[in-house]
Amino acid sequence: AMLRQVLARGRPALGGRGLAGRALSTEIQKVGVVGLGLMGHGIVQVSAWEGFDVVAVEKEQKFLDLGVDRIDQSIAKVLKSTEKRKPDMLPEVEATAAAAKARIEYSTDLGALADCDVVIEAIVEDMAVKTPLYQSLNEICKPETILATNTSSLPVQLMADASGRLDRTVGLHFFNPVQMMKLVEVVKLETTAPEVFDACMAYSKAIKKVPVSCLDTPGFIVNRLLVPAMAQAMLMVDRGDASIEDIDTAMQLGAGHPMGPLTLADYVGLDTCMFILQGWVDNFPDEPAFIVPECLKAKIAEGKLGRKSGEGFFKWDGMKRL
């Protein structure tokens, strides 16, 4: 039964030593999450659902309230879907949902994270904001705490340098929506302790994700392959090689992709694509795969950000492409 499995699941208990030689536990039982936006609230939800105690932190009460609403609405959708498709399981899923909600502690105080076994950062992609956070986490959290970043575009090494926890910093890159997407990229540094990496792999599996291992390369695996592919599609638009519609149709029918690269760019957000590409161009100017297409710049200038604004390369009505 789902609820019994959640409550009875064992946790990885892996021992190890930090760079300073101190004996540190890497057992993950209590998970902290900083930032309850699109990604963070999902990480909180899946962790609590699978039996982990969770501390969810936002900097201001209004953002915390938004995160709570996101989680409550997401769980309500699970219950509604269960009632419609598997009504006989509804009481069990309701009990699981209630238990998950009871495991979440909400706070606007970073101090609430002090005894977490891992703290996952899911805030804005800006090192001017992340650096002081990691400095604070290093001061606040117990020595055993693993610090993990959900960054999709910044080097994990920057977080390790900011925190000073070179042996206990990793990347845990989830995908949106976290509740549905199975993949987690677990990014290890040269200095990441093996038992810390192993504990993060085990945690990812415990929350029903499929973890893949990667070094701290720009974009990790998925974005390193996907974002340049979207950029190449945009460069075809710049050159007039093919129409927007035909580029997407070709990749759907010729490569078996569920959506074309320009539809995907709209879905992700053209501002997000620009942020990633421009960051790569600035930091890796000699890499020819990293380029910002002119049509992307034009769309951004016009305020056409894709699905979120109602128009990008295509027009959108909510989640539906017109």
Q: List all residues 6 or more positions away from 66 whose beta carbon is below 8 Å from its beta carbon.
A: 36
Distance CA 21, CA 208 (A): 33
Catalytic hit among 50, 58, 144, 185: 185
Question: Alpha-carbon distance 160 to 162, whole Å?
Answer: 5
Please give the DSSP secondary-structure letter assigned to residue 89: G
Active site residue 257: no
Neighbour-count burial for 21-52, b at 16+ CB within 10 Å, e otherwise? eeebbbebebbbbbbbbebbbbbbbbbbbbbb
At residue 241, what are phi and psi to the nearest 5 degrees?
A: -65, -35
Q: Check residue 268 and report its DSSP letter.
A: H
Catalytic residue, from 153, 173, 195, 311: name it.
Answer: 173
Q: Residue written as tokens 């760079």?
A: 19
Mark whether 185 is an active-site residue: yes
According to DSSP, residue 235 is labeled H
Known catalytic residue at 173: yes
| Residue 229 contacts residue 261 (beta carbons within 8 Å) | yes
3-state secondary structure of 271: helix
Q: Which of 47, 150, 152, 153 is catalytic?
A: 152
Active site residue 138: no
Q: Which residues lie closer than 8 Å to 243 by C-beta, 6 or more apart? A: none
Contacts of 302 (CB under 8 A, 6+ apart): none
- Looking at this protein, which amino acid is placed at residue 199? A
| Active-site residue (options: 50, 153, 223, 311) | 223
Q: How far is CA 8 from CA 51, 74, 192, 235, 314, in A?
A: 8, 24, 30, 52, 48
**Residues known to be catalytic:** 152, 173, 185, 223
